[in-house]
């Protein structure tokens, strides 16, 4: 039996060997969009985390309040 064919005879989809990479490096200073008012809080990236189902994630620490958060890549931007 062909490796790409399941026991039922259907073909399995080709594997995607492309791994997404993080846009921001460890230690980078970024702006995190916080809350419904879209306030931008300066933060530092502490750890790069895997995709949690909603996109690549980061553990960051707010520079103003010192609070650590886990955020998705879509909620952080580079400072202007």
> What residue segments make up the domains of the chain, in order of their start?
29-77
Query: pTM for the full model?
Result: 0.71
Instruction: Choose among 42, 38, 20: nearest CA to 30.
Output: 42
Band of residue 5 on the pLDDT scale cut at 50, 70, 90: low
pLDDT of residue 38: 74
| Residue 75, phi then psi, degrees to nearest 5 | -100, 10
Instruction: Choose among 59, 65, 66, 64: nearest CA to 76.
Output: 59
Q: What burial letters (b/e) apply to 20-31, b meaning 16+ CB within 10 Å? A: eeeebeeebebb
Does residue 45 surpass a pLDDT of 90? Answer: yes
């Amino acid at each position: 039996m062909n490796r790409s064919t399941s026991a039922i005879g259907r073909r399995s989809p080709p594997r995607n060997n492309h791994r997404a990479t993080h846009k921001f490096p460890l230690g980078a200073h970024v702006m995190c969009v916080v809350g419904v008012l879209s306030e931008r809080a300066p933060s530092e990236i502490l750890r790069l985390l895997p995709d949690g189902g909603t996109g690549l994630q980061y553990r960051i620490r707010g520079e103003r309040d010192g609070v650590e958060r886990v955020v998705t890549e879509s909620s952080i931007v580079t400072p202007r």
